[in-house]
Structure 1
C-alpha cells in the first residue's frame, strides 16, 4: 500500500486547485503533509458555560435564546444580537453580516455560540463568534474532544482546515503512515506509537491536560518532535559522512612561509588562536575536505587564524578564497590580507559586483592562471565566469548570511572537479550549544575563547531618549577630545527606504546641534563605492561622528572610535546589539556604548537591555537571544531552511537533543535503510541541499 505522501490534497472533498494553492503556502501538498500540520492550540467546546459565570478573556461555549437583533450605527455599522440564558445576557456583535444572517438571528431562536469574551459598550460581548441554531445542534455539547486551532494562511478558515485534517485522519493507518523508528529505539526512549500520537494531537480527549499540550511537552508531541529532530540530525550526519568520502588537498606541515608571516606581524598569536590553528592543521592532513566552524567573539582575532591557515596553502602555491557577505567587510579583509601578504610577495586579487570592464577581466585572468594565490570577494566569487586554477581553501566569513547553495557553489570550484577545497567558516555570532548541536552538526567546531591583549572592555549604559541632549553633549566632548563616535539608527519599519530616511533625518539634526563636528552618513542605499569612501574617511579620522544604519554591524575596524550611541536598541536582537557594540573598544582608550531607548520601555525591553548591560560574553548573550527570538532569526533568514521545524522547537526541546544524537548514531550504524524514508517525511525540500 502506498503511503499518504503519494496522495495529493486535491483528493479531499472541498479542495480544488485554488484551495490547493493556498495549502501550498503552508507547504501542504499531500495528505501526509496535512496530518503533520498540527494544531497550535486547543479550544474546550465540550462544556456549556452559563452566561452569568463568564470572565473576560474566556474562550467558551454558551447557549441561550435570542431576545433581540438590530443593526446599530457607531464608528462602524454592526449587527447586535442579545442572547439570554437562565443566568444572564450576552451581546454578539458582527461587523460583517448579511441581510439573511439578520433574519436568521431573529428573536425567539435558540443559539449555541463559541467565542472569546471581550468588554464591549454594553458589558460582555463576543465578536464574530462561531454559532449554530437549535435545529443544527442537539442538547449534548459539540464533541467529546478538544477543538483544534491550526496555523492558517489567507483564504483558509479554521472550519475548512478542520474538515481537511479530519478527512486525512480518516485515512490514517499503520500501513500508510509507516513507523520508521525501530522498536528498540522507541523502547529505549519510551516513545509512544506514531499513529496514536498523530490522532491524539489532532483530536485530544476532553479530559486532556491542556497545560501540558500548551507547553508542547505532552508525550505525543515529544514523539513527533523527537522524530523530526532525528531527521534533521540524520541529514547532517549524512552530509558530513558524504564529505568524508571526498578527497581534498593534503597539507601535512606548517612550512617556512607561515613562520615568515608571523615574524612580520607586530603581534603574536594568542594561545587560543594557536590551539584553533592546530585543530585546523589536523583536518588539513586527513586528505578529506575540512568543514570547520571557527567561533570567536567580536575582536578575538579570527582573521589572523584564517591568514595562518591560508599561509600553509600559499607555501604549496595553492589558491585560497576569502568570501564575505558585504562589500564593506570584503574590503576590510582585502586590506588586511594585502597588508600581511603583499610584502611577502603574494598577489591578492579582489572580486566584487561593482568591479567592471578591464579591471574585472584582469582579476579574472590572474585568478584563472593562478598568479593570484589569495582571492577576496563577496558572492561574486561563485559566479560561473570565475575559474580558479587550483582552489584549495575557502574561508567563509559570517556564513549564516549566505544561502547554503551559495556556499556549495564555491565548493564546486575545486581542482578539476576531483579535489574539494577545504572549508573554514568563521562567525562572530557566538552560536549557543543548542544550535551548534542541531544546525551545525555537519561541522567541526572550534572556539577562540581569548581576546588579544590591548582590547578594552566596553562600558554599556541605557539612557532614556528624553536625555538625548546630554548624550549629544557627551558625543561632542569625546570628539573634541580627539576620539570618534558612531550614532546608529535602527530599523524603523521593515523597509530599507524608511530606515535610510531615519538615518538621514538624524544626521541633519545632529549636524544642526553639533555644527562644529564633521559628520558622515552611511546606509544601505548608498552605492558600494560611496560606502567605501565614507568608511575610508572615518578610518582616516576626517569624519568625527558617523551616523549609520546597522550596515556597520559586522567587521568594521576603527580603533580610534570609542563611543557608540544606539537609538531604539529595544528594536534589535541581543546578538545584533552585541555585534554593534563590538565596533568600539578596538583601541587603547576606554570605550562606551549608550543605549538610547524610547520611553516607556516594556518589561520585556528592560530585561533585554539589562542582559546587554550586565555581560559582554557573546555566548551568554546568544543563549538568551535564542530563548527570546528563536533560531530562525539568530541564524539569519537565508539559513533558516535548516531550522523550519513543523513540530519541534529548538529552545523548548533542547533537553532531548543528546537523546536524539544517540538515536541518530544508532540508526546510522544498525538501521541504515530507515534514513531515506525519515528524511523524505520531514525534509523533502532539503534532499536537494544534501545532494549538492
Structure 2
C-alpha cells in the first residue's frame, strides 16, 4: 500500500481479494474498497477466557470449549416447522476423552460447517436435557490447524463480524488479516494532528485498525475504539466547522428593521404579550437578518412554544426591507393550516391591494400540487412579481417554473421531513444567499445538535405561551383491561358533549394498497414495532366504520383523514374539523405536525406502541391548544412486560420534550441518526455514539473549531483534508448541508 496517501482507502477490493471474492463482499456486505473493509469492524469478540475440558463442564454456567466434531445429524422437529442440527463434540484432556451434545435450532450454518473432524471453539451456557448436559445454539468459531498448535493464539479474542449467508465472519476475518499484513511496512496517513495525538496519548490510525481487528487482549479494542471515535468526531466536526465558516463569509442582502412598517403595525395589534422567549428570539433573528451575511439558524421548541409567531415576525421584517419570505411545509394539510393561521393572525396586513386591506399590506399566497392550474398560475405570478410577500407551499415551491422577485428568507418547517436537495433548490431561487430559519418541534438532545446540526446556530424556546393547558397522558393496556376499550369511546363522547373535539389516530389505513405501499404510518424511531408480536393493527377505514355504528357515539359527526385520500377531500375534511362541523376525526399521522385546532382536547392513539417517542410527543401536542386541559390515551394490545411498553410509560410520565428525546435516543438504535433516513447514503456512524460519547464530541468540536479558525482551507492539515474527501463523499456529505 502506498504510504503517502490515504486515498489508498478508495482502492477497490479486487486486487486484495480477487474478483470473485470482491464481488461477494460487494454484493452481500456492501464493502467495495480497502477503506470499507477496514471500517467493517467486529460487532463483538469471542472472549476465549479459561478453557473448560469437555469432561468437566458445570451445569448452569457459561463455558468456552475447544473441541473436535465427532458427529453431526439433522432431523425435522416434530411439533413445529424447522429442523434440529445435533452435533457431538469431543476433546482429549490428558487422556480423558469427554463428549458433549450441542443442539442448533434451524442451524443452517452449523449443519454446513460443523462436519466430523472440524475443530472449533464453542461458547455457551450448559443446560440439561433428558438427563444429559448440552449446549443449545452455542456461539462457535472454526479454528485453523495453526491455531490449534499455537497456544498463544488461543488466548487472543476472536472477532465476530457482521456477516452474510454467502460471506461468513471467518472469511471476513481472513480478508482483514490479509489487508492488515499489507500495512505492516507502511502507515496510513493520520487525520488526527500529531499535537492532538500527543496531548491525548492516542495511538496512530494504523495501530488502531490493527488492534480493533486483531487484539491481543480485549482491552486493546477499548483503546483502539476510543482512538477511532475521536477521529470520526474530528472529521465530522471539521466538516461542520468549515461549512459554518464558509457560509458566514457568503454575501446576503441585509434586511434591517424598519420603524413604522408591517412588523411595528403587527406588534401594536397583538392581543397578547409575547413571552420572554419570543422577545429574545425575535431580537436575535432581527439582528441576524440585518447582517450582510446569511443567517443559518435552527429554532427548536416544544409543540406550542410559539415558534411560528417568531418566524412570522421575521418574515415581516424581511418584507419591510423589500424582500420576500418562503415557508416550506411538509404536507398540504400543514401548508393550508399555515395559510389560514397566518392570514388570520395578520388580518388586514395580509390583504395588500385588496378592499379593506392595510395601505402598505402584503399578500400571502399558497402554492401546492393539488391547486387548480389557474390558482397555481396566479400564485406563481404573485411570487415572481413580488406582489406576494409571503409564499407558503409544499414541494410544489421547488419546481423549476417557480421564481421569486427577491427571496430574502426561507423558513423550513419540520426540517426532518425534507431532503437536502430540496432545501438547496429553494436557496438557488434567491439572487444572493438567503437567510434561512429551520424550525423543529422535535426536541434535539445537545449531542445530536452538535453532531448533526453543528453548522447551524441552534436556539431553543422552552416557555409556553399563556393559555396553554396541561396535557394528561395515560397508558391504556387492553391486555390487562380489555373492557377499557368501551370506556375510551364513552370518554370521547363526554368530551364532545362538553363542546370539544377528539382526534383518533391509527397506525394503518387498511385498504387494498396496504401490502405494496410504504405508508406514512411509522416514525423511523418506532423501534420495537418490528419485534412486536403479530397483532392485528387498527386501521383508519375499519375503525371509522366501527365507530359509526357505536351507540355511545350516536349523533356524533365523524371525519376520515389519511395520506391516500384525494388532496381536495383531505383539505375539506380538515376544514370541517377546523370549523367544528366534524367532532371526531379518525386519522393516520398526517395530523402529526402543525395542525392547530384549539377546540380539540382529546387524542386517542390506537396501537401506540407502533410509534416512536418523539412521534407520540408530537401527536399529543395537537390537543390542549385552546386553554382547555388536554387528554391523550396511549392504547396498546401488548403485554405489560413487553419492551415497547417502556416507551409508552416514558411518554405518559412527562411532557418535557427534551427529557423524552434523551430517553428516545437511549432506547433506540443509533445507526439512523446519521443513516439512510437522514441522507440516503452510507453515512451511519461507525464508531461514535452520540449519547455515550458526548465528551469526545465536545472535545473534537473545540479542536475542529480551532483548526478551522487557524487554517480554513486545511492547507497545514492535508491528512485531515483527505479524510474529509474520503469519509464525506458527496452522498454522505448531504446530511451536513442543513442550510
TM-score calculated relative to the size of structure 1 = 0.89
The aligned residue for residue 94 of structure 2 is none
Structure 2 counterparts to residues 108-147 of structure 1, below 5 A: 111-114=119-122, 116=124, 124-127=134-137, 138-140=148-150, 143-147=154-158
Task: Tell me the CA shift for residue 593 of structure 1.
Answer: 1.1
State which drifts further: 540-549 or 641-650.
641-650
The aligned residue for residue 247 of structure 1 is 251
**Distance change (3 Å), C-alpha of 1:365 and 1:5:** same
1:575 partner SS:
helix
| Alignment pair present for 1:435 and 2:479 | no
| Alignment pair present for 1:80 and 2:125 | no
Any idea what the Cα deviations from partners look like across 1:416-470, whole Å, max 9, x if unmatched? xxx1111011111111111111211111122222111111011112222221111
| Alignment pair present for 1:204 and 2:215 | yes
| Alignment pair present for 1:285 and 2:297 | no
In 2, Cα distance between equivalents of 1:348 and 1:556:
19
User: 2:205 aligned to 171, 194, 198, which one?
Assistant: 194
Say whether the 8 Å CA contact 1:69–1:102 is kept in structure 2. Answer: no
User: 1:648 aligned to 675, 679, 688, which one?
Assistant: 688
| Alignment pair present for 1:353 and 2:352 | no
Task: Tell me the CA shift for residue 70 of structure 1.
Answer: 4.5
In 2, Cα distance between equivalents of 1:103 and 1:373:
73
The aligned residue for residue 38 of structure 1 is 41
Any idea what the Cα deviations from partners look like across 1:326-384, whole Å, max 9, x if unmatched? 11111111112222122443122211122342322222222222222211001221222
In 2, Cα distance between equivalents of 1:395 and 1:102:
58
| Alignment pair present for 1:401 and 2:449 | no
State which drifts further: 335-344 or 346-355.
335-344
In 1, Cα distance between equivalents of 2:143 and 2:610:
47
Any idea what the Cα deviations from partners look like across 1:493-546, whole Å, max 9, x if unmatched? 996569697121222222222333222221222222222111111111111111
The aligned residue for residue 159 of structure 1 is 170
User: 2:66 aligned to 31, 37, 62, which one?
Assistant: 62
| Alignment pair present for 1:543 and 2:588 | no
| Alignment pair present for 1:506 and 2:506 | no
User: 1:224 aligned to 214, 224, 228, which one?
Assistant: 228
Any idea what the Cα deviations from partners look like across 1:553-576, whole Å, max 9, x if unmatched? 111111111111112223322211
**Distance change (3 Å), C-alpha of 1:628 and 1:137:** closer
Structure 2 counterparts to residues 439-518 of structure 1, below 5 A: 439-465=452-478, 466=482, 467-490=484-507, 496=518, 502-513=539-550, 514-518=553-557
**Distance change (3 Å), C-alpha of 1:678 and 1:103:** closer
State which drifts further: 490-499 or 348-357.
490-499
Task: Tell me the CA shift for residue 386 of structure 1.
Answer: 1.2
In 2, Cα distance between equivalents of 1:196 and 1:35:
12
In 2, Cα distance between equivalents of 1:664 and 1:639:
23
Task: Tell me the CA shift for residue 657 of structure 1.
Answer: 1.9
State which drifts further: 142-151 or 114-123.
114-123
In 2, Cα distance between equivalents of 1:563 and 1:130:
54
In 2, Cα distance between equivalents of 1:19 and 1:94:
31
| Alignment pair present for 1:422 and 2:435 | yes
In 1, Cα distance between equivalents of 2:46 and 2:114:
29
Task: Tell me the CA shift for residue 45 of structure 1.
Answer: 4.4
The aligned residue for residue 667 of structure 1 is 707
In 2, Cα distance between equivalents of 1:33 and 1:452:
50
**Distance change (3 Å), C-alpha of 1:82 and 1:29:** closer
Task: Tell me the CA shift for residue 624 of structure 1.
Answer: 1.5
Say whether the 8 Å CA contact 1:320–1:392 is kept in structure 2. Answer: yes
Any idea what the Cα deviations from partners look like across 1:129-151, whole Å, max 9, x if unmatched? 75769978745556442111222
State which drifts further: 353-362 or 367-376.
353-362
User: 2:566 aligned to 517, 520, 527, which one?
Assistant: 527
In 1, Cα distance between equivalents of 2:301 and 2:621:
12
Say whether the 8 Å CA contact 1:455–1:588 is kept in structure 2. Answer: yes
Task: Tell me the CA shift for residue 117 of structure 1.
Answer: 5.2
The aligned residue for residue 580 of structure 1 is 619
1:364 partner SS:
helix
2:297 partner SS:
strand
1:191 partner SS:
coil
Say whether the 8 Å CA contact 1:43–1:59 is kept in structure 2. Answer: no
Task: Tell me the CA shift for residue 24 of structure 1.
Answer: 6.5
The aligned residue for residue 325 of structure 1 is 330
Runs (5+) with no aligned partner, structure 1: none
State which drifts further: 668-677 or 633-642.
633-642
In 2, Cα distance between equivalents of 1:77 and 1:605:
31
Say whether the 8 Å CA contact 2:125–2:138 is kept in structure 1. Answer: no
Task: Tell me the CA shift for residue 172 of structure 1.
Answer: 2.0
Say whether the 8 Å CA contact 1:92–1:129 is kept in structure 2. Answer: no
In 2, Cα distance between equivalents of 1:60 and 1:46:
7
Say whether the 8 Å CA contact 1:262–1:268 is kept in structure 2. Answer: no
1:373 partner SS:
strand
Task: Tell me the CA shift for residue 645 of structure 1.
Answer: 0.9
Task: Tell me the CA shift for residue 240 of structure 1.
Answer: 1.0
In 2, Cα distance between equivalents of 1:70 and 1:639:
47
In 1, Cα distance between equivalents of 2:388 and 2:308:
19
Say whether the 8 Å CA contact 1:491–1:571 is kept in structure 2. Answer: no
In 2, Cα distance between equivalents of 1:651 and 1:97:
37
In 2, Cα distance between equivalents of 1:530 and 1:455:
31
2:218 partner SS:
coil
The aligned residue for residue 592 of structure 1 is 631
Task: Tell me the CA shift for residue 275 of structure 1.
Answer: 0.7
In 1, Cα distance between equivalents of 2:113 and 2:42:
32
1:644 partner SS:
coil
| Alignment pair present for 1:684 and 2:721 | no
In 2, Cα distance between equivalents of 1:610 and 1:547:
24
Say whether the 8 Å CA contact 1:393–1:421 is kept in structure 2. Answer: yes
Root-mean-square deviation (CA, aligned residues, Å) is 3.2
